[in-house]
Structures are given as structure tokens and as C-alpha cells.
């Protein structure tokens, strides 16, 4: 049987103050065309359909439209799970009747570890869940880390696994040895969010989400789909794709990759301002791409961002090479005390990442009062 492995769509994603929904629509239309062309037996979406637990309305409408076209119009089964960015409860809505149309969406981890069986292949759907959730669900007080939780869940799966049929694990996790990027949200502090590769040895194929590069890990049977688009400049050199997997009866498989081309790429440019503004340079470029520009010029400059945006309207980040070097040197001598951020600073950073609005003094004052009350209550406990 043949299935297409994708994930990390992050619908409703906000990048440097720009909502990526229309860019996502462009690429998802190409994805629907690919499904129509390949006619797979299933589409597997390995988590993070949305970028946040309460997504914008247009992101919800886009997901509804795309899944309807795949599942209803193309009559293709969909196998999907919630990731760490999704709301497990919201994605679980309607799942009991979705299955009647071969739409298998698992938002919340439950005690039902039975697989979804499609054309001779068993798909084991394990949505993202915190270790505490798994500890409570299984009544196992020894579970404290993501490694403990994943080991326990896979142990439950293996109790009734049919070894005579291909078994595909669909999950959302950080496998030890994988390469991360700036746009992925850490699953936990330090290394306790990682799980080891050996946990998945029982499966013919492990289809994962979370890490945004399709080449995030080098393993024969464990594969990341990679994200739908580039969501940070740390991903600028990645080649995004979806995986087309042809599974054989004995559990072996062939895999090939299909790239989806966004209307606007995310790239990095480096050079002197005069060079970048020269028509002989920019006429060869897609000037509408999302850009991070690093200038090599020395000395003072007058409004370089304004000048660049006359040619490249989507410059999202501008830095000077000399400032970048100085910043790296300064970071070496930053004290641990200076690296720590206050609760208000952390909230301001979160607010700026999640909205396009300014964090005004009025908002800062409100949050200062709220944080102060919470800390006071915590201190009284």
C-alpha cells in the first residue's frame, strides 16, 4: 500500500509579524494536487496541524477546506494526530464519527491502543502527550520523562501488535540525534524531552512530526516529514518536501520525496548595500521572497531597511556583519544572572511571537499587576 507522510503544517503561523496562512494555502493546494496524482491509500499527518491551541479563524477554515478536499472529494483516508502545538481536546471533537468516512484523527491519548487498519497495514496513532498525562492515564507512577512515557505507551501497543503485518507508528516526538531549528517549541527543559531510537524497533516504519527538516535524522526506518514551509531563517537552507512511502507486505518499503514550491521562499542575503540595490543583482532575484539581510558595510548608514524594502518589500530581518560578530563576543561574557528573564519579559516575548499588536505600557502595567498577584499567592502557599 502507498501513503503520503506529512506534518507540522502549523496553520496560523506568525513569522516576524506576518501571518503565513496564504502561503500555506498555496502549498496545500499543491499538496491536494499531489494526492490526486498519486492516489495513495492514506495521507498521514504527524501532528501540529495548527500553530497554537486556539488558532485564527482563517487557519481553521483552511484546514477544514483541505481535509474535505482530500478525504471527501478525493475519497482518500486521512490518518492524523495532535502535536505539541495543537489542542488535543479541540482536535478530538467529532473523531468518533469522522471514522465513518475513513478520517482517523486522534487528538487525545486514550487507553485504546488498537491500530487503524488500512489495506493490510496497521497504523498506530499516538498523539503528543506530556509525561504526566501518560502517568495518570496508565496509572504508572514510574513515568517522569518523555522517554518513560513513550516506552510505556509502546509497551501497551506491543501487547497486541500483529508481527505478521506491517506496523507503522505515527507520533510527534524529539528523537535523540535529530537536528532541531529555531521554530520548534522545546518539549521540555534540557534533554528530558528526547526519546531514544531503539524504542521504535518493533515498527516497520515510524512516521514522525516535530522536527522541521525531512533530513532531521539519519535512520533506516524512523523518518520526519519536515514542516510544510520554512518557519524561521534557521530553516532557510532546508529543502521542504513530503514523503511518499510504498509499503510492502513483508514490512519493507520504498520512499521518495516530493518538493512543494511556495510562492515566496524564505532566504538569506549577504552583501554590501550598494551591491544589493544594483539592478544587475536584484533583477535576477525573486524580490518578493521573505529575506534576512546581512550587510557587510562599515560605518554609519542612513535608513538601510527603508532603502532595501523599496526593492525587497519582504525584508523581515536586517543585521550588520560587524554587529553580529560583536554580539557573539558579548554573549560569551554574559552572566547567568543576565541570561535569566523575568516573568514579565518572558510574557512580552510570548506576546510578540503570538500577535501582531504592540506590547504597550498599559498592557505592561496590567501584566505587572497580574504577575505580582500570582507570585504573592504562590509565596503564601
Residue 338 confidence (pLDDT): 46
The whole-number average pLDDT for the span 196-220 is: 94
Q: Is the pLDDT of residue 353 over 70?
A: no
In the chain the first and final C-alpha atoms are separated, in Å, by 58
Q: Which of 178-192, 204-218, 334-348 has the lowest mean pLDDT?
A: 178-192
Q: How many CB atoms lie within 10 A of CB 52?
A: 19
Q: Is the pLDDT of residue 322 over 60?
A: yes
> Quick check: 193 pLDDT over 90?
no
Contacts of 313 (CB under 8 A, 6+ apart): 287, 288
Average pLDDT, integer, range 163-187: 82
**What gap in Å lies between CA 120 and CA 251, rounded to an integer?**
10
CA distance linking residue 295 with residue 289, whole number of Å: 17
Confidence of residue 333 (pLDDT cuts 50, 70, 90): very low
pTM for the structure as a whole: 0.81
Contact status, residue 23 vs residue 264, Cβ threshold 8 Å: yes
Q: Among 146-155, 194-203, 362-371, name the one with the lowest average pLDDT.
A: 362-371
Which residues touch 326 (CB under 8 Å, ≥6 apart)? none
- Contact between 168 and 201 (Cβ < 8 Å): no
Q: How many CA atoms lie within 13 A of 327 on its CB side?
A: 6
Q: Mean pLDDT throughout 324-353? A: 62
Section 245-272 average pLDDT: 95
Burial of 376 (0-12, 13-18, 19+ CB in 10 A): exposed
Average pLDDT over the chain reads 88
Distance CA 248, CA 246 (A): 7
Mean pLDDT of 284-298: 95
For residues 218-241, give the mean pLDDT: 93
Q: Over 60: is that where the pLDDT of 278 sits?
A: yes
| Parallel/antiparallel/unpaired status of strands 42-46 and 116-118 | unpaired
CB 3 within 8 Å of CB 35:
no
Q: 127-149 pLDDT, tens per residue?
A: 999 999 999 999 999 999 999 99
Q: Is the pLDDT of residue 186 over 80?
A: no
Q: What angle do CA 281, 19, 302 make, to 5 degrees?
A: 45
Q: Show the cell assigned to 212.
A: 522541521
- Residue-wise pLDDT tens digits, 40-57: 999 999 999 999 999 999
Task: Compute the average pLDDT of residues 10-14.
Answer: 95
The counts of H helices and E strands in the chain are 13, 18
Asked if residue 227 lies in contact with residue 260, where contact means CB atoms within 8 angstroms, the answer is: no
**Mean pLDDT within 232-246:** 94
Half-sphere exposure of 341 (CA within 13 A, CB side): 8
Average pLDDT over residues 266-291: 95
User: CA Rg, the chain, in Å?
Assistant: 23
Amino acid at each position: 500500500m502507498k501513503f503520503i507522510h506529512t506534518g507540522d503544517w502549523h496553520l496560523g503561523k506568525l513569522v516576524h509579524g506576518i501571518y503565513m496562512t496564504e502561503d500555506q494555502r498555496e502549498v496545500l493546494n499543491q499538496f491536494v494536487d499531489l494526492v490526486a496524482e498519486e492516489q495513495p491509500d492514506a495521507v498521514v499527518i504527524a501532528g501540529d496541524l495548527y500553530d497554537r491551541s486556539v488558532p485564527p479563524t482563517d487557519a481553521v477554515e483552511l484546514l477544514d477546506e483541505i481535509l474535505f478536499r482530500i478525504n471527501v472529494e478525493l475519497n482518500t483516508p486521512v490518518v492524523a494526530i495532535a502535536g505539541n502545538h495543537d489542542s488535543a481536546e479541540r482536535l478530538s471533537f467529532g473523531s468518533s464519527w469522522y471514522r465513518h468516512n475513513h478520517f482517523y484523527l486522534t487528538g487525545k491519548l486514550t487507553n485504546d491502543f488498537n491500530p487503524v487498519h488500512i489495506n493490510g497495514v496497521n497504523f498506530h496513532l499516538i498523539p503528543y502527550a506530556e509525561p504526566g498525562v501518560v502517568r495518570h492515564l496508565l496509572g504508572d507512577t514510574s513515568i517522569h520523562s518523555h522517554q518513560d512515557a513513550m516506552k510505556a505507551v509502546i509497551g501497551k501497543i506491543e501487547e497486541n501488535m500483529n508481527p505478521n503485518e506491517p506496523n507503522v507508528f505515527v507520533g510527534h516526538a524529539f528523537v535523540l540525534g535529530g537536528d532541531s531549528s529555531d521554530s520548534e517549541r522545546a518539549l521540555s527543559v534540557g534533554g528530558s524531552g528526547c526519546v531514544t531510537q531503539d524504542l521504535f524497533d518493533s515498527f516497520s516504519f515510524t512516521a514522525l512530526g516535530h522536527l522541521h527538516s525531512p533530513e532531521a535524522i539519519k535512520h533506516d526506518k524512523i523518518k520526519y516529514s519536515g514542516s510544510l514551509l520554512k518557519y524561521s531563517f534557521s530553516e532557510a537552507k532546508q529543502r521542504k518536501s513530503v514523503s511518499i512511502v510504498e509499503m510492502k507486505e513483508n514490512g519493507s518499503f520504498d520512499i521518495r520525496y516530493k518538493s512543494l514550491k511556495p510562492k515566496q521562499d524564505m532566504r538569506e542575503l549577504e552583501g554590501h548595500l550598494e551591491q544589493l540595490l544594483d539592478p544587475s543583482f536584484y533583477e535576477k532575484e525573486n524580490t518578493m521572497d521573505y529575506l534576512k539581510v546581512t550587510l557587510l558595510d562599515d560605518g554609519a548608514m542612513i535608513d538601510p531597511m527603508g532603502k532595501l524594502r523599496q526593492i525587497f518589500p519582504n525584508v523581515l530581518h536586517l543585521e550588520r556583519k560587524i554587529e553580529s560578530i560583536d554580539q557573539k563576543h558579548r554573549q560569551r561574557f554574559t552572566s547567568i544572572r543576565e541570561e535569566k528573564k523575568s516573568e514579565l519579559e518572558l510574557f512580552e516575548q510570548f506576546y510578540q511571537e503570538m500577535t501582531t499588536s504592540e506590547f504597550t505600557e498599559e498592557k505592561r502595567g496590567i501584566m505587572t499587576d497580574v504577575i505580582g498577584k500570582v507570585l504573592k499567592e504562590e509565596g503564601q502557599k
